Amino acid sequence: MNKQHNCDVLIIGSGAAGLTLALHLANNADIIVLSKALVNEGSTFYAQGGIAAVFDENDSVADHVSDTLIAGAGLCDQDIVQYTAENARVCLEWLIGQGVNFDQEEDDQGELRYHLTREGGHSHRRILHSADATGQAIQTTLVDQVKNHPRIRIFERYNAVDLVCEPPTDGNNQQKRCIGAYIWNRNNECVERIFAKKTILATGGASKVYQYTSNPDVASGDGIAMAWRAGCRVANMEFNQFHPTCLFHPDAGNFLLTEALRGEGAILRRPDGSRFMPSFDERAELAPRDIVARAIDFEMKRLGADCMYLDISHKSVDFIKQHFPNIYEKTQSLGIDITKQPMPVVPAAHYTCGGVMINKQGKTDIDSLYAIGEVAYTGLHGANRMASNSLLECLVFARAAALDIEQKIDLQQSIVVLPAWDESRVTNSDEEVVIQHNWHELRLFMWDYVGIVRTTKRLERALHRVELLQREIDDYYQNFRVSNNLLELRNLVQVAELIIRCAMERKESRGLHYTLDYPELSEAATSTILTP
């Protein structure tokens, strides 16, 4: 009870960003990786499409940069985009060196080369992939490497509760310093502590705040909420990417239909079989995700339809089975033969483009606290993330953070005994139904009021509901012992408030943020920054 663990580096999150950072640092530091569920159960594992990098001689870093800037609708940080695209290939080569097998094909001379696919927003084929389960290949490879490293400890089924910070030590340093975190041991149902010389948030995004999401259950905005409570700024939380094509079937769960399907020629159709994307954008099915998602949403509402359809049945059976084996197998199990019939699809919350503000090295506003991956706002994605730049961001900024930490960490720093967790005045809750009710209410009104299409009145209603929920949850948190559901609900409600406040500040429609009250694009492109 109230046990303290000590390490040089605490990494909260076990996806591509967290595990990549752990492997970069582990030869010189003792690492603890905190995994909220089992180590594979995160967004990385379920990523289908691939990773963008320039491997084709007809492609260029300049084109990758240009495509990303266009997709980002004027809000990308051009310096960050350039840095990411320039470092993409070396990071992919490192990943290949770890053992990830990307698909290859023979060129005209019979030499093997990587098979590159194309996705929405890209002007060239530059997506490295492992069939249609790239994330699974990356995650399992990194997990194998991490588990076999003697200086990395993995804590599975542990929630981070809150960061522990100490005030500035002198007048010249105005930043408080992060020295670890309180953690919830789900195995023994008790709070423990971890002291760390450097702490990294790699907790992923917050799409679980919406009723329909492609993300796994662990994507509850924990890192964003913890950083905000600790005093970090957040930016551009209004830009929630809705993936256009989630499989619509009662037994499909949150199964995603990769954008690579459209990259390989799949067509979006209405229930009557007619094609509609050319009416919305000259790029048709290969338009950026925000445009495709809004088009599907518009057609569903206009027709009163439950879904639209994605059709790749005009391709050969062998082509479909070779390029999309997991999708073929999954849909077959649901009674859908994608070689002969279209797939029912709906948009679903997919990616959080905003997050905790960091610099190029991944550093936050708090000393010794870093954030990498989807939890962070780097400026790479702007108002809309281009496909297959997300896993790339994880790799590039994990490497950048590792280089900075290696230079800054003081391995001789004395261990600090963190304050004990006080639960002497709390009791066990006999009203778990309250948490479940609040959980469902939150996700439903976020979908209805803060979804693909917004209005000022909808946002005001959502903010009112969030404020009521916050008061109820704060009272609950003070009086009852923590649980996984309570911790996630507390974080989701906090993130919901940040999303709504950012959305209310943006008086325009740009990228993923579309409001009927301000349908035009403002002349000035500015980020929305919130300060605690």
| Tokens of residue 148, six digits | 């076999």
**How many whole angstroms separate alpha carbon 80 and alpha carbon 71?**
15
69 vs 78, 144, 433, CA distance in Å?
7, 35, 46
Contact 48, 133 (CB under 8 A): yes
Helix axes 222-230, 484-505, angle to 10 degrees: 70
User: Is 289 part of the annotated catalytic residue set?
Assistant: yes
Torsion angle defined by CA atoms of residues 40, 41, 42 and 44, in that order, rounded to the nearest 10 degrees: 40
Per-residue buried b or exposed e for 308-317, using 16+ beta carbons within 10 Å of the residue's own CB:
bbbbbeebee
Q: Identify the three-state secondary structure at position 110.
A: coil
Q: Spell out the alpha helix ranges (H) of 337-431.
A: 390-408
Question: How far is residue 301 CA from its own chain's centroid?
Answer: 27
Q: Which of 400, 369, 375, 42 is nearest to 181 (CA)?
A: 369
Residue of 289, 443, 454, 490 marked catalytic:
289
Cβ-in-10-Å burial (0-12, 13-18, 19+) of 30 comes to middle
**How many whole angstroms separate alpha carbon 297 and alpha carbon 350?**
15
Q: Which of 158, 163, 159, 161 is nearest to 227 (CA)?
A: 163
DSSP state of 338: T
153 vs 357, 394, 454, 477, CA distance in Å?
28, 21, 44, 30
Residues designated as active site = 289
